[in-house]
Structure formats: structure tokens, C-alpha cells
Structure 1
Amino acid sequence: MTSMTEPRPASVASSTPTAHNPRAPELSKSPLAGDAEKGAVGGGVEDVDDCPDGGLRAWLVVLGVSSGICTTFGFVNAWGIFQAYYEEYTLRNMSPSDIRLSAWIGSIQYALVFMPGLAFGRLFDMGYLRLPVGLASALLVACTFLTAECKEFWQFLLFQGIGIGLASGIVFSAGSGVVAHWFRKKLGLALACMASGSSIGGTIFPIILRNLIETQSFQWTLRITGFIVAAFLLVLNLTIARRLPPNPHPGPFITLHMFNSVTYCVYCLSLLVGFLGLYTCLTYLSLSGLLAGVDADLSFYLLSIANACSLVGRIGGGVLADRFGAMNVMIPGTLVAGVMTYAWPFAKTKGPLVAVSVLYGVSSGIFVAIMAQPLVRMGKVTEVGMRTGMAFTIMSFGALAGPPISGAIFDHTSKFENVGYFAGSTIMASVALMVVARQLLLGKFFGHA
């Protein structure tokens, strides 16, 4: 385990672009070399602008982070399977009001993926990486096994909602920051590859869970899943590493000076509003298929279809973002996600449900893959943890409130159409705010943003 000593004074350049030096950093001599928590390798401090933008070591970091996100964000994206299973089987003897509360388990998971961003993003800037990631990995595996033993609602809430959600958030926060250490010109592609882990996880975990539940007990389903999660997290812990030394002058743990930027504030607000509706479709897609009378097997696989197709959106969105600008790609992609959220409740048969799953998966994948890229480029690389962390913490409140609000709307109206109106409208409002943020950033209609 890398020691977490106080970072020694070092001169770290700002992220202002300069001539790119293609020389590979000394850290790349060994694919599994220790991270820069120890300070600069070889006694020198690597310049921020001496970014490798590729190479074995850099792509191993992306592989590791992607593996971690596969079993954190990707596992959380499989919540729709648990939601339908709990309401049909595990919690069926509970009162209707308690069953409605089950939506909070998934909602807390989604929120905690982003909520720890402020604290752990700041710790990342201060040089701490391996220890938080290692502890989060152990917590995630333990909570997966403990969920198998749960019988009461509060137990599911504690271990699956809070435990798995918090562990996922620590891994996601660390991953979002560390990739920016290794890439600049290809940052969009790298972040898209990183985010593809959640698509892969969101595809394979519903299939694994569905098939295991049919052949094994619920307890053994979670135990087997726990071993799968541990294998992916091992890859993460073996490959994740910082390239840059810690910020030599970290300042206070929390600072609000970034909110002096109107562009930053508007963009953060757009993320908050967007997440009020973004995960509603994924949360209730399988359940809506079941209630519409669609074959149960297909209803459960709709979530895997959506997550599989989001991989196309994530990789494609990342490539296009590097060429045309992240916000130029996010705005139309998120617009399509909003349209599909409006359309989803009106899909009552196999064909329309599959079509909505495909189109929603691709478009929402674009949003999730590159939402951090504008934040990374709004300031210094040495403050990337705080900047993205604060935005993710703000955004988490949208993820926390969105699914329960949608669930309450369905409970009072018994119509997913009304849920679609609410969720779709919040996504459209997010698009409008992105347009404003883009205009503030560029000051003109056309340009790379």
C-alpha cells in the first residue's frame, strides 16, 4: 500500500496549453509502478503539460478504472432488476407504502455514486488515491455478500443502498480525476472508455442476476456476484495510479471560489436538473414492461439492451467530443434522451419497448460519458478533483430525488405517462441550461466547446 505522507513542496505548472512534449514520463517504465502519492518519480516533478496522451501505462489506468466502474456504476445501473424482483417477490408481503420505499434503495445508490465527489475529489488533489480505493473495494465486496443475508427493508437500505452506493462513489470519484492526469488531447476518448465500464456492467449484471435467480437462490445469486465484483476490483487496484504529484499548496479542504464562474454554476445546475429525470427510465423500464404484459424475460432484458446500446453512445460520444467539443455533442445527445423519456411510457409492446431501449441507451450514454469533460477543462488539472467533485456532489441530489419523485407520481396517478412527462421535462430543462452554459463559455454561436 502506498504511504500517504504529506506532499513535499513542488512546482506544478498550470493546465494552460503549451507545446506538447511527446516524451513518455519516467513512470511508464513499469506498467504497475507505484503512483505519485510518493512524490515525483526519479526525484523530479513531471510537468502538467508533459502529458503522455497514450502509451501502455496510461491505457492500463483506463482499463483499471473501467473495470472498477463496471462493478460500481455498472452494478448500480442493474438496480432495475432488483427493483422488479423486490416488488414481485422479496418485499411482496410488505405494505404498499413500504414497497414504494424500495425505490429509495436505488435512488440512494445513484446519489452516492456522485455525492462523495466533493470529499474524495479533494483528497485526490491532496495525493490520496490507493488507500481510499482499496477500502472502497473491500466495502463493496462485503456489502454485496451482506445483501444476500438481508430480510428487512432497513437492511437492504443499509447494505445495498448506502454501503454499495458509497463504495461506488469513492471509486467513481477517483477514476474521474486520475484519467485526466494521463490524457489531454484524447481526454474525451479516455473518459468514454472509462465510462464504458458502466455500460458493460449494466449489460452483464442484469443478465447474470436474471439467470442466477432462476437457477440459484437469491442468497447464492448475490454471493456469486460478489466474487465477480471482487475479480474486477482486483484489476482496478493493480493498475490505478496518479501521474502527477499532489498539489503542493492544497489550501482549505473546501473552497467556493469556483462558483465565481457563472459558466461553472450554470453547468452544475444543468447536471442537477438533468439527473432528476435521467435515471427514471432505467429504473422503471423493466417494471413498465411487466405491467404492460410483455414477456417477463424480455422485460428483464430491456435494461441490458439499454445499457449495451449506451456503450455505443459512450465511445462514439467521446470520439466526437474530442473533435467537435464536449458540449456540442452533449446537447443533441441529451435532447434525444429527453425525447425518448417522453416516448417510453407509450411503448406497450415488444417492438416499441426495444426501440426505446436502444435509442435511450445510446443517447443517455453520450451524456454520462462526457459530462465530466467540460468540468476538467474549466480550470487547472491540479484542481480537477475538487472541481469535478463539487459538481458531482451537487448533481447527486438530482439522482437522489428523481426516482422517488417519479415513483410518487406513478403511485398517485397509476400512469407511467405522467412519470414520462416529469422526467422528460427535467431532461429538456437540462438541455436548455447546457445551451446557456455553452454560450457563456464561447460568447458566440459557433465554436469548439
Structure 2
Amino acid sequence: MAADTTKTSDISGDDEEKTLPPSPPTMPPANPAADVPNGGVQAWLHVLGAFMLYFNTWGILNTFGAFQTFYSSGTLFSQTSSNISWIGSIQAFLVLFTGFLSGPIYDRGYLRALLLVGSFLIVFGNMMLSLATDYWQVVLAQGVCVGLGSGLIYVPAVAILPTYFNTRLGLAIGLAASGSSIGGIIYPVVFYKLINDIGFGWSVRVLGFIALATLSIPNLVMKMRVKPSKARALLDTSAFTDWPFLVFTLATLIGFMGLYTMFFYLSYYTKARHITSTALSFYIVPILNAASIFGRTIPNAISDKTGAFNLIGPGAVIVSVIIFGMLGAKSVASVVILAILFGFFSGIFIALPPVCIVRLTQDRAKIGTRMGMAFGIIGLGVFVGGPGGGGILASGGGDNFNGLWIFGGVASLVSSALFILVRAWKAGFKMVKV
């Protein structure tokens, strides 16, 4: 995205950052506010297109808990939970890291190329996954191919809406971002419903056809209104001496390590411990994602009144308590309640970091660069969180779930302490909006 002009900040301030999943968005092109449509058929078609991009990036990634449960059964291949989690971790890391690198490509006007290549890789990856029989084939197809494709198409989903909306930008982004939760509901339900009837191969092919159909919409309707005057820089060297920014980035990285213990292993836990039926263990994932629809929007609305830093620290504490609560989750009711609560409050980690990064960046022309740097680093937390949790799980003969939940809870608690430290850095301990 463009990293120039003060006008950019007028249309990409608080509203733009309100409901974004953790990703490396670029700054929107500079536009006079009067030239932005703020509605009309073309503008709302771009909201629909962005919805489908979210649906097929984080929506697909949010489905991995169902795949983790299936792969752990040994039906397709035999691997430890830690090794299996590398598939989803690689996929999530590539969404963030590829998005960081593809931002300048978008800024140079190559929207069409990003959409076409990214869509092809997602569909092709699913089709290759349907043919996979070995672990390494699944890593390449689902982890690398789908992950790269998702990273390429995610930047357009984030970057293009501010060129069509300013006063209604919050609504537009909120509607688009809900696609990630809807995808996280539909994909695992379809996968589970079909797996026993038509087998793994054709079930995954159906998911690929869903991706093909839904990705055709943004490829047909989305186009750049304004090409930025120059591409943003990949690095802002001043960030390396900005301690509040560095500590906040570290806090989010550690927080994501904790989050992915739940995202990857909650469904598997309910099945392995015979808490739920096989059917309900698969439905835990869409239940969690349904709750996240509200968790990705409501905290941002509240933060307009209270300040983002006043929410993210306490929110991380609540997430930590929920993960620790899994130590006592021995019934269907307790697991479902904790899944719903986690789905909601985990949205704080997804929705508020972009807002906080804006608050930590004095030069608004550098917001896009800082965002890309932060989420490129945060991706490392996603990369190691799942496998790290799997290693802990394996340390108890493949059943050390208590160690897994302690790891996730401690990681979230440490991140909350660092968030509170950054808040104190900004405003001390005074009760003010930060």
C-alpha cells in the first residue's frame, strides 16, 4: 500500500483497522474523501468480493482444527499431533508472511494478478490435497500451496475497501471480515458431512469446488479505483528502536502461540478424551467460529469509547483464564461453553492489534510498513505455537492435554502482562482512553 500523503490517514484511520484479522494490510491509496463512492452497486460488490476473500483465507485456516482431528485418527497417514500441526502452522504463517511481501505488489497495481494466482493456488492446493496419501504431500498441498495462495489474495481484501468507502468504512470492513467466521463454519461442516459418505478425496474436492465458485466472484467484480503514487517500503528502520512497538509485537506473537493451542487441539481433545461423539467433536470448530463473528466486531466498537489498549490487556487475561479452564473441562456442556467464550474473546487478538499498531505509529505514512513488519513477525508465533503445543502433548504419550492447556494459558497470560506494560508506557496507570 501507499505510504505517502496525509490524506491517506483521513480515510484509513480508526475505522479501517476495526475488524481486521491478524494480517499485514497495506495502507489504502490516497483519495480525496469527496471522490470515494461510499455506496452504490460497485462499492457493495467489492464488499461481497472481499467477503469471499476472507471466506477463503482465514475461513479455510479456521477449519484446520477439523483436519487435525481427522489426520490424528490415522486414516490417511500416521504422524504425531505435533507433526500434524505443522501443516496448519505453515499455512497460517504463509498467510501472514506472504501478505507482508505481496503488499508492494498490490501497491504497484497488480490486483488482478494477485487474485488470479492466489485463487489458482488455493483451488489447486485443495485438488492436490484430495490426491494425497502421505504426510509430506499434505504439507505441500495444504500447508504450502493453499497458504501461499491465501497470502496473495488476503492483501486485496484488506486494502481495496478504503478506496470505495470512508464514512461507511467500518460497516464495509465488518461485513467483509465476517466472511472468515462464516467460512470457518461452512467448510468444517461440509467436510464432516461428506467424509463418511464419499471419502477424504472427494470431500476435499468438494471444498475445492466451493473455493473455485466463491473465488470467482472477487475475480470478476474487483478492480482498483486508484493506483497508489508509490509502493510502501518493506521496512521502517526506526521501528527497531521503538520499544513500545517492539514489546507490543512480541506480546501479540506470544499471544498467538497460546491461541493456536485451542484452535488446533480443542476438537481433537474432545474426541481423544471421549467427551463428545465423533460428530460433535467436528462441530466444536464451527461452534467456536460462530462465536467469533461477534468477537471480531464488538470489542472494536467498545474500543471506540474506551481505547484499544484498555481492552486488549484485560481481554488477554480472560483468554488465559478460558484456556486454563480447559483443565477442568470434562463434560460436553463445559467444553461447548468454553469454546463459545474462547471464540468470542479470541477476537480481541484478531481485531484489536491493527488498531493498537496505528496508535503506536506517530508517522501515519508508515502505518502500512509498520503493520507489515509487525504481522510478519507475529506469524512466527503462529508458526511455532501449534507444533510446540503438539510437542507438549506428545510428551505424555500423546495425551498430555494438561500440559498443553497450561502452555496455552501461560502464553496468553504473559502476553497480557506485556500488553499492560505497553499501556503503562503510553499513559501510565491513569484511567484514561488509550
TM-score norm. by structure 2 comes to: 0.86
| 1:216 partner SS | helix
Matched, 1:259 2:240: yes
| 1:325 maps to amino acid | G
Matched-pair contact (CA < 8 Å) for 2:38–2:166: no
**1:313-328 correspondence to structure 2 within 5 Å:** 313-328=295-310
| Corresponding residue number in structure 2 for 1:407 | 390
Equivalent-residue separation in structure 1 for 2:75 and 2:221 (angstroms): 38
Q: Which residue of 2 aligns with 1:343?
A: 325
Cα offset, 1:117, TM superposition = 3.0
Cα deviation 1:43-99 (Å, max 9, x = unaligned): xx733x55859423544433322211111111111111111111214345x3x55x6
What residue in structure 2 maps to residue 148 of structure 1? 130
Is the contact between residue 187 and residue 322 of structure 1 (CA under 8 Å) also seen in structure 2?
no
- The equivalences for 1:65-104 within 5 A come to 65-92=50-77, 94=78, 97=80, 100-104=82-86
CA contact (8 A) 1:188 1:370 kept: no
Q: Which residue of 2 aligns with 1:360?
A: 342
Per-residue CA deviations over 1:221-241 (Å, capped at 9, x if unaligned) read 111111111122122223444
Work out the number of aligned pairs and report it: 413
Asked if 2 retains the 8 angstrom alpha-carbon contact of 1:80 and 1:303, the reply is yes
Correspondence 1:395 to 2:378 = yes
Aligned equivalents of 1:381 and 1:232: distance in 2? 34
Partner of 1:13: 6
| 1:173–1:445 CA distance, 2 compared to 1 (3 A) | farther
* Unaligned segments of structure 2, at least 5 residues: 14-28
Aligned residue for 1:208? 190
Separation in structure 1 between the aligned mates of residue 421 and residue 185 of structure 2, nearest angstrom: 34
Equivalent positions of 1:128-147 (< 5 A) are 128-147=110-129
| TM-superposed deviation, 1:430 | 1.5
Which residue in the other structure is 2:405 paired with? 420
State how far apart, in whole Å, the 2-side matches of 1:206 and 1:404 are.
Answer: 21
Q: Match of 1:109?
A: 91
Q: Distance in 2 between matches of 1:251 and 1:78?
A: 32
Aligned Cα RMSD in Å? 2.9
Sort the Cα spacing of 1:279 and 1:369 in 2 relative to 1 into closer, same or farther, 3 A: same
Q: What is the rounded CA distance, in whole Å, between the counterparts of 1:251 and 1:209 in structure 2?
A: 40
Structure 1 residue 436 and structure 2 residue 421: aligned? yes
- Choose between structure 1 and 2 for higher RCO, CA contacts under 8 A separated by at least 6 residues: 2
Aligned to 2:149: 167
1:252 Cα offset (Å): 5.3
CA gap 1:278/1:50 in 2 versus in 1, 3 angstroms: farther
Q: Deviations over 1:380-401 (max 9, x none)?
A: 6654442222111100000000
Mean CA deviation greater in 276-285 or 166-175: 166-175
Identify the residue that residue 263 of structure 2 maps to in structure 1.
282
Structure-2 change in CA distance of 1:441 and 1:433 (3 Å): same
Q: Secondary structure at the match of 2:395?
A: helix
Secondary structure at the aligned position of 2:321 is classed as: helix
Distance 2:427 2:417 in 1: 16
Tell me if the contact between 2:8 and 2:31 (Cα under 8 Å) persists in the aligned partners.
no
- Correspondence for 1:233 among 215, 230, 247: 215
Q: 1:364, 1:160 → 2: CA distance?
A: 24
Conservation of the 8 A alpha-carbon contact between 2:106 and 2:114:
no
Q: Answer whether contact 2:57 2:154 (CA < 8 A) is retained.
A: yes
SS across alignment from 1:245: coil
1:145-184 Cα offsets, whole Å, 9 max, x none, are 1110011111100010111111112222332333454556
**Structure 2 residue aligned with 1:309:** 291
After alignment, is 264-273 or 371-380 more displaced? 371-380
- Mapped to 2, the partners of 1:185 and 1:376 lie a distance apart of 18
Match of 1:268 among 235, 249, 253: 249
Query: What's the CA shift for 1:197?
Result: 1.5
Residue 206 of structure 1 deviates from its aligned partner by: 0.9
Equivalent residue for 1:372? 354
Cα distance between partner residues in 2 of 1:373 and 1:54: 22
Whole-Å Cα distance in 2 between the matches of residues 411 and 109 of structure 1? 22
Identity rate of aligned residues, in percent?
33
Deviations along 1:258-284, whole A, 9 cap, x unmatched?
334333222211211111111111111
Amino acid at match of 1:167: G
